[in-house]
Structure 1
Amino acid sequence: MTKSLFQAASLAALLMVPAAYAEVPADPAVAPVQSFYDTLIATMKQGKQLGVKGRYEKLKPVIEQSFDLPGMTRLSVGPAWNTMSEADQKALTAALSRYTIASYASNFKSFDGEKFTVDPASTVRGADKVVTSKLTAGKDVIPFNYRMRQAGSSWKIIDIFLNGYVSQIAKQRSDFAATMQSGGAAALEKKLDTLSDGLMKD
Structure 2
Amino acid sequence: MTAISFRTTVLAVFMAIGLSAGTALADGVDAAKGFIQTLGDKAVSTIAATQQDEEARLRQFRSLLNDNFDVPGIGRFVLGRYWRVATPEQRDEYLKLFEESIIRTYARRFSDYSGETIAVEKARKDGEDFILVDSVIQRPTGGPVAVTWRLLGQGKDFKIVDVVVEGVSMSVTQRSDFASVIQSGGGNIEALLKVMRERLGKA
TM-score band, normalised by shorter chain: 0.7 to 0.9
Contact between 1:95 and 1:192, CA under 8 Å: does it hold in 2? yes
Contact between 2:51 and 2:111, CA under 8 Å: does it hold in 1? yes
Equivalent residue number for residue 190 of structure 1? 194
Matched, 1:102 2:104: yes
Tell me by how many angstroms 1:162 deviates: 0.6
Equivalent residue number for residue 138 of structure 1? 140
Tell me by how many angstroms 1:5 deviates: 8.0
Higher RCO by CA contacts (8 Å cutoff, separation 6 or greater): 1
What is the CA–CA distance in structure 2 between the aligned matches of 1:40 and 1:193, rounded to whole Å? 30
Equivalent residue number for residue 149 of structure 1? 152
Matched, 1:8 2:7: yes
Matched, 1:126 2:113: no
State, as a whole percentage, how many aligned pairs show the same letter.
24
Equivalent residue number for residue 181 of structure 2? 179
Tell me by how many angstroms 1:39 deviates: 5.5
For 1:26-175, list aligned pairs within 5 A.
Answer: 26=26, 27-30=30-33, 33-34=36-37, 36-38=39-41, 40-51=43-54, 53-109=55-111, 111-119=113-121, 122-127=123-128, 128-139=130-141, 140-151=143-154, 154-163=157-166, 165-175=167-177
Contact between 2:5 and 2:165, CA under 8 Å: does it hold in 1? no
What is the CA–CA distance in structure 1 between the aligned matches of 2:65 and 2:39, rounded to whole Å? 7
What is the CA–CA distance in structure 2 between the aligned matches of 1:151 and 1:93, rounded to whole Å? 22
Tell me by how many angstroms 1:38 deviates: 4.8
Backbone CA RMSD of aligned residues: 3.2
> Any gaps of 5 or more consecutive residues in structure 2?
none
Tell me by how many angstroms 1:47 deviates: 4.5
* Secondary structure of 1:113 counterpart: coil
TM-score (norm 1): 0.75
> How many pairs does the alignment contain?
187
